[in-house]
Chains A and B, each alone.
Chain A
C-alpha cells in the first residue's frame, strides 16, 4: 500500500496535468450536455437526456454521424494508399537527398491546414487550375464541381493528413528488419509478394497507428469540411461549431461533442484489438 503510494509519487504531476488538461474539460462537457437551451441560445440549468435523444432520434443527425464516420474512414484509406509507397521509399532510399525529401514530405505540417486548404481552393475552384486545364483542352463545357462538396473535402483531407500518415508509417518501417525481406526474396518471393506477405503485415503497427491518427484527426477536422465543403458537408465537427457559435445551443453542441468522443473511443477500441492481432 505504502509502496504503491511511493511509486505513484513521481507520477503525481503527470496525473494532475492529465486531470487538468483532459478529465476536467471532459467532465464539464458531459455536465453541459445535460443542460437545456431555450429559444435563442439561453442556457438553462437542468439534468436531461433531451440533447442525446434529439441527436439519436433524428435521422438528420444520425446522417451527420454516419457521414462523418465514412468520410474519415475513406480519407484515412486514401491517405494510406498514397502515403504507403512514399513512406516505403523514404524509409528505404539510400539517396543522399533522403533527409531533404523527408523534410519536404513533412514540411506541410509547418503550414496551417487553413492555408493548405486555401491552396486547394485555388486548384479545385470553378476558375481553378484543374478546371482551367480542362477548359484549355476543351474536355468540359461547364466547370466540374470539384469542391464545395464531399469530393473537395476528401481531396483536401487526404492531402492534409498525408504527412501525419507518412510519419507514422516511416516509424513503423524503421522497426522492420530489412533482412526479413531479403529472406523472403531468397525463398523465391518476387517483389510483389515480398510486399504483400512480409512488408505489409510487418508494417501493420505503423499502418494501424497512422490510420487511427488520421481517422481521429479527419473526423474532428473542422477547417477542411467547412472551407472545401461549401457548407454542404455537414459533419460532427461543423455541427458542433454551428451549435456552439451560431445557434448558441451549447448543451446540444456539448452532446454532439460527447458523441464525437464516443466515436474516438470506438476507434481506439478497434485499434487496440487490431494491434493485439498484429503486434508480434
Chain B
C-alpha cells in the first residue's frame, strides 16, 4: 500500500519525461505550432489587440495558441522579464521603445533575422531599432491637448503653456516620464537651442511653464481632466487624444505643436531564450503585417509602422503615420537622451517641479 503510493507519482513523472521530447518535437512542416505567451499592456490596449491581431493570428495559424499576459506598464514588464531572465516564461513582449532599448542592451531580447520576419523589409526607417532588434509596431506622437471650450482661440504651441491666462489649468507628466523629456526637447527647439546644448535656458523656460501647472500628476489622466473641465491644457499622446476626442464628443482636442512633435512607438520584441521561437517569430511577423496594423489604427488610432498598410485618408490623417505629421517630428538621438536623462530628471525635480 505504502510502496504504491510512493511509486505512483514517480512512474507518472518518468512517463512524462520519456514522452516530453515527442510532445515538443517540431512538426516536419514549416507551419509553427505550440503555445506562446505574449506580454503587453492591460486595459483597452489588450481588448483591442486581442481582437485586431491575436485572434486573427490564431485563425491563420490554428496550431499556435497565444496567451495574452497583461504585464502592466513598460517598466513593470521589463521588471518581470528581468526576473525571468534565466528561465523566461514570456516569448513576445510589446513595450515602449524607450524601455525596450534598455532590454536590448541587457540581452533580454533577441535580434530579429529578416529571413524569419519578412515584413521587416516594409517597416519605416523611423520604426527600426539599432541592430535589427524588435521594431516599432505602432507609431504615436507628442501632442498638445486642450479643451476647446476653455482655450480660445485654439493653442498653437509652447507659448500657450506660458500664457498667464492658463495659470492653474495645465497638467502633464514631468521627467522622468517620456512626456516631460519630450517636452524639454520641443521647448529647446522653441527657444532656438538644440536639445544637446547646455540646458540652463531650457530649464529656465520650463520653470516659467511650471508656474502655470495645476498638477504634475493628473488623475486619472489629463485627457479626462480636460474633458471634465478641471484642466484646460496638457501634453499627451496622439492616439489616446484621438480616442478621447471621439469618446467625449470633442471636449478634448489635440494639435501637433508648431515647434514640432516627438515620435514615440511601441516595439514588439522576441524574448531571448523563448521556448518556442518559431511560433514567436511567426507572431511577430504577422503583427508587423499591413492588415493587423491597419486594424489597430482603426481601433485605437495607432499609426502603422508598415509602409504598405493602407488606411482611409481621413483616418490616416489622424494617426502619427500621416506624412504631414511624420514631417513635423523632431529627430532625436535617443542614445544621447538616455545618457543625459538622469541629469535632466534631477533638474526637473529640483527646479522645475517645485517652481511656484
Contact = CB atoms under 8 A, between A and B. Distances in A.
> So, do A and B actually touch in the complex, CB under 8 Å?
yes
Given A41-B102, A42-B105, A227 B217 contact: yes
Contacts of B215: 148, 230-231
Interface stretch (A88-96, A121-129, A169-177): A121-129
B168 A126 contact: yes
B149 to A, nearest CB: 14
Contact of A42 (B75, B102, B176, B230): B102
B126 interface: no
Contacts of A250: 79
B338 A234 contact: no
Nearest to B102: A41
Contact of B75 (A121, A125, A148, A244): A244
Given A127-B229, A247-B342, A230 B76 contact: no
B158 to A, nearest CB: 20
Given A41-B102, A60-B350, A230 B217 contact: yes
Given A118-B219, A125-B230, A227-B217, A242 B176 contact: yes
Contacts of A242: 176
Contacts of A126: 168, 214, 230
Q: How large is the interface on B (under 10, 10 to 19, 20 to 34, 35 or more residues)?
A: 20 to 34
B177 interface: yes
Nearest to B350: A60
Does more than half of chain B's interface fall in helix, strand or loop, or is it mixed? helix
B102 A40 contact: yes
Given A39-B339, A40-B341, A246-B176, A231 B106 contact: no
B44 to A, nearest CB: 19
Given A244-B75, A245-B75, A247-B341, A229 B349 contact: no
B342 A39 contact: yes
B78 interface: yes
A248 interface: yes
A249 interface: yes
A36 interface: no
Contact of A231 (B73, B82, B342, B353): B353
A60 B346 CA distance: 9
A166 B105 CA distance: 51
A118 B219 CA distance: 8
B181 to A, nearest CB: 10
B78 A231 contact: no
A35 to B, nearest CB: 12
Nearest to B171: A230
Contacts of B101: 40
Interface string A107-120: 00000000000100
A246 B82 contact: no
Contacts of A249: 342
Interface string A213-252: 0000000000000110111101000000010111111100
Nearest to B217: A231
Interface in B213-245: 214-217, 219, 229-230
B216 A247 contact: no
A245 B353 contact: no
B176 A247 contact: yes
A46 B229 CA distance: 49
B354 interface: yes
A43 interface: yes
B230 A230 contact: no
A79 to B, nearest CB: 23
B174 interface: yes
A77 B229 CA distance: 35
B78 A248 contact: yes
Given A127-B229, A227-B219, A247-B342, A232 B353 contact: yes
Contacts of B350: 60
Nearest to A238: B217
Q: Indicate the member of B214, B215, B230, B350 with the most A CB atoms within 10 Å.
A: B215
A230 B170 CA distance: 11
A257 B230 CA distance: 34
Contacts of B230: 125-127
Interface of A: 39-43, 60, 118, 121, 125-127, 143, 148, 226-227, 229-232, 234, 242, 244-250
Interface of B: 73, 75-76, 78-79, 82, 98-99, 101-102, 105-106, 168, 173-174, 176-177, 214-217, 219, 229-230, 338-339, 341-342, 345-346, 349-350, 353-354
25 contacts: A39-B341, A39-B342, A40-B101, A40-B338, A41-B75, A41-B99, A60-B350, A118-B219, A126-B214, A127-B229, A148-B215, A148-B217, A227-B217, A230-B216, A231-B173, A231-B174, A232-B354, A234-B353, A245-B75, A245-B76, A246-B75, A246-B177, A248-B99, A248-B102, A249-B342
